[in-house]
Amino acid sequence: MSTLHQPAHFLPLDDYASSTSAAQVPVERELASLGAAYRASSSSAPGAAPELQRAAHLAFLARALHPLPASHVAFDSTRPWLVYWAAHASYLLAAPLHARLQARAAETLLKCQATLGGFGGAHGQTGHLMATYAAVMAFAYVGDRHSWEAIDRPAMYAFLLSLKLPDGSFTVHVGGEVDVRATYCVVCVSLLLGIATPHLLEGCDEFIASCQTYEGGLCAASQPSYSAHATLDRSAPRPALGEAHGGYTFCAVASHLALSLLPLPPCSSSAPQLDEAALLRWATSQQGAASELGGFRGRTNKLVDGCYGWFAGAGMFACLQALLQRRAAWWKSEEEEEEKAQSAAEDEEWIDDPLSFSPSDAFLFDRLALQEYVLLAAQDASGGGGGGGLRDKPGARCDAYHTCYNLSGMSLAQHRLRVDAASRRALEDMWKSQQQQQQGDEEAEEEEADAWRKACYVSCLAWSAEAAHKAVVGEAERNELVPTHPVFNVAFPKLKEMLDWAYGQA
């Protein structure tokens, strides 16, 4: 049985509501009412727990892939997103799209491929990094070797590189704005398609760190400084632009983690460095109190929102957990790792590091409370809506976006994943080299390129689930979801299929 935990210093609802805006009060009252009803039912009927309305949600997602009514014309530029949200959420519910629908979806995605590389939001639109991310992740679910081969990877690489700026940031499209979400899209797309290079990713981590605000979370971008000769001044302070936000922070942290698992040259000592302690303080303050059913907010003093159960919640904390877990360059040899561990064990400063903890017995957020938020607040448990789907919060309409990210957050609230050195070594041993017979310098270059591709492939897949720490609210048979990858937000079996193709490992 799972119950909501009442904080020791929990304020009465009237006192709590008086400190918030008038618009938030009705929602907070509804959340508190749902929590009170659940606690009452749990005490009178031990073992009672809300049920995930799986069939209703699957029916809702299926409708999202059918022709939309005229009132949904605004969604015409988000076709790759609709495919990704529906395909991903359906797979998490253990009900993959049927083959005919997958083929139709893949055909739709290919029609969104832009002439100059990347994907647009619809047929004929120019390439945009957000649409490109959605399309490539969706291809993991609806594509096969035939449709994947139709992705123009050379044009894709040229497109990604054309958006890169000298400070390591990316614009979201040609002539567009700089956004840390663009960096996340580049990292995920390039790794999944097997086109990541050190040149493409150079400076990304430095830019990410520069987006950290005084709160500890990260914002959309930062302002670089240039010298009189229009060259980037890397030693000058870089003001962060905007407030810390769950969506930006997740994209930054997931990218930072992915980059940290690759053999990239370290940033210079003068470059901005991510303050992981400040990030941890900010992240752990975003989960709501009992009056908010343990949901997550995206910004300080804002209402909780179901989608942030992924961005500021379980997705974020899976990446944070991995960052705090790794204390050495994981791609080094086993002997080097043992030497590093021995050195660390003799270093009192390392042992006293406030960011050090045992991943086997520590959790950074209330996993059960987040699941309860999804089951009680994000879905209409009474069935009154009748149409399935998940929502932002009580009173809001259900949509494919919130259905996808509510379920993504719930997935990683149930399953504890960690970067795993044993999995890494096993994947390295199974690697099939693509080297050609070369001589001299060409042979050395080929070896270097093969080692880089192997590192990219292995870094994406070397995760393991800790079965002993699985925690599902309610009956597992009804409520358990398929685990999703903390960085890509794609289920592991589908991710591996596409990676095997991209890296020639099939």
Catalytic residue among 91, 184, 308, 401: 308
| CB-count exposure of residue 124 (10 Å: 0-12, 13-18, 19+) | exposed
Residue 235 to residue 232: CA distance in whole angstroms: 9
Residue 71: DSSP 8-state: G
Catalytic residue among 104, 302, 340, 425: 302
> 152 catalytic, yes or no?
no
Catalytic residue among 164, 173, 238, 245: 245
Catalytic residue among 167, 179, 205, 305: 305
> 146 catalytic, yes or no?
no
Residue 287 to residue 308: CA distance in whole angstroms: 9
> 402 catalytic, yes or no?
yes
> 29 catalytic, yes or no?
no
Residue 342 to residue 388: CA distance in whole angstroms: 54
Dihedral (CA of 366, 422, 493, 183) sign: positive
Catalytic residue among 144, 152, 353, 399: 399
Say whether 296 sits in a helix, a strand or coil.
strand
Residue 175 to residue 332: CA distance in whole angstroms: 39
> 307 catalytic, yes or no?
yes
Residue 388 to residue 59: CA distance in whole angstroms: 7
Listed in sequence order, the residues at least 6 apart from 16 whose beta carbon sits closer than 8 Å to its beta carbon are 28, 289, 291
**Structural contact between residues 370 and 354, judged by C-beta atoms closer than 8 angstroms:** no
Catalytic residue among 79, 164, 256, 402: 402
> 352 catalytic, yes or no?
no
Residue 387: DSSP 8-state: S
* Beta bridge pairs of residue 484: 491
Q: Which uninterrupted H or E stretch holds 37?
A: helix 25-44
Angle at which helix 79-92 crosses helix 54-64, to 10 degrees, equals 160
Catalytic residue among 205, 366, 380, 392: 392
> 500 catalytic, yes or no?
no
Catalytic residue among 307, 398, 404, 460: 307
Residue 411 to residue 88: CA distance in whole angstroms: 12
Catalytic residue among 181, 299, 415, 424: 299
Residue 348 to residue 290: CA distance in whole angstroms: 39
> 392 catalytic, yes or no?
yes
> 429 catalytic, yes or no?
no
CA angle 129, 131, 134 (to 5 degrees): 110
**Structural contact between residues 117 and 156, judged by C-beta atoms closer than 8 angstroms:** yes
Q: Cite the active site residues.
A: 245, 299, 302, 305, 307-308, 392, 399, 402
